[in-house]
Amino acid sequence: MAFLTEDLVFGPIKSRRLGNSLGVNLLPKFRKICTFNCVYCECGWNPEICDEKARFATPQEYKQTLENALKELVGTPKEPNSITFSGNGEPTLHPDFPEIIDITIKLRDKYVPKAVISVLTNGTRIHDERVFKALQKVDNNICKLDGGTLDVINKINLPNVKIDIEKYIQCLQRFEGQVIIQTLFLRGKHHNDNIDNTTEEEINLWLEHLKKIKPRKTMIYVIDRETPEKNLEKLSSEEMSKIADKVKALGLNVEYYS
């Protein structure tokens, strides 16, 4: 079953990576909007028909909703460790994303100054200077890189925009190390196509990308929830540990979740 939310701000939920995570969904209620259509996405497949009436919350609506949530949570056991932009697709698609980041920073500083601000993004909008500068302001700018080759990335992420892997790596390099890379490792099939980002070739090319990006941290993880494509395999802890060791050998910080 797809995990879609109707709430602009939801949780907090216990996150494997971020602790008490207060979620932010900048996209319409129960409506996935994304430039990727990942085979493993917990939000399910992108809708085949676009709902022209779907609307985005205004910055003012967001400000009021987040402020109300923080007032309620501050000083309680559920006080957030992270305010996390995820939700029903790609958060940077919101037309007022930069303004919303500024609002979030001000409210975080006022109510929960120890919390971090995290953005889970597929990275397809970081070529937009406004989005890039907004992501530079957050504590955890977490960008996706699910393979070493464009062929495998296309098979896993099923993008509806053109991906240029070299230009994407160059954009990630512009963060000068202040970026977190997230990669989900899997094997399986989709429409009779084999999908595997765990081969020696894929991992070696992926490592080459990491060497260029020099991320502050790399997060690698496995399938944890129901996926829209059913023919996918969850990797073992042993396999993930071996991949993590290869990242460590580059002198880079890595966390793995299995």
Q: Give pLDDT, residue 164.
A: 96
Res 50 pLDDT > 70:
no
Asked whether residue 157 is domain-assigned, the answer is yes
Give the pLDDT confidence of 109-154 residue by residue, as tens digits: 999 999 999 999 999 999 999 999 999 999 999 999 999 999 999 9
- Give the amino acid at 101: I
Residue 177 backbone class (left: φ over 0; alpha: ψ -120 to 50; beta: rest): left
State the number of CA atoms in the 13 A half-sphere of 33 facing the CB. 18
Give the pLDDT confidence of 59-88 residue by residue, as tens digits: 999 999 999 999 999 999 999 999 999 989
Domain count, the chain: 1
Asked whether residue 41 is domain-assigned, the answer is yes
Res 51 pLDDT > 60:
no
Asked whether residue 203 is domain-assigned, the answer is yes
Separation of alpha carbons 8 and 87, rounded Å: 8
Asked whether residue 127 is domain-assigned, the answer is yes
Separation of alpha carbons 229 and 215, rounded Å: 30
Q: What percent of the chain has pLDDT over 90?
A: 83
Q: What is the mean pLDDT of residues 47-58?
A: 73
Helix (H) or strand (E) holding 152: helix 150-157
Separation of alpha carbons 83 and 101, rounded Å: 11
Identify the weakest region by mean pLDDT among 2-16, 100-114, 209-223.
2-16
Separation of alpha carbons 217 and 169, rounded Å: 15
Identify the weakest region by mean pLDDT among 11-20, 203-212, 214-223, 249-258.
11-20
* pTM, two decimal places: 0.93
Q: Give pLDDT, residue 1.
A: 46
Provide φ and ψ at 227, rounded to 5°.
Answer: -115, 150
Give the pLDDT confidence of 160-171 residue by residue, as tens digits: 999 999 999 999
Asked whether residue 1 is domain-assigned, the answer is no
Identify the weakest region by mean pLDDT among 21-35, 56-70, 90-104.
21-35
Q: Give pLDDT, residue 258.
A: 82
Supply the mean pLDDT for the chain: 93
Asked whether residue 223 is domain-assigned, the answer is yes
Range of the domain at 201: 9-257
CATH code for the domain in which residue 165 is found: 3.20.20.70
Tell me the three state secondary structure of residue 183: strand
Asked whether residue 75 is domain-assigned, the answer is yes
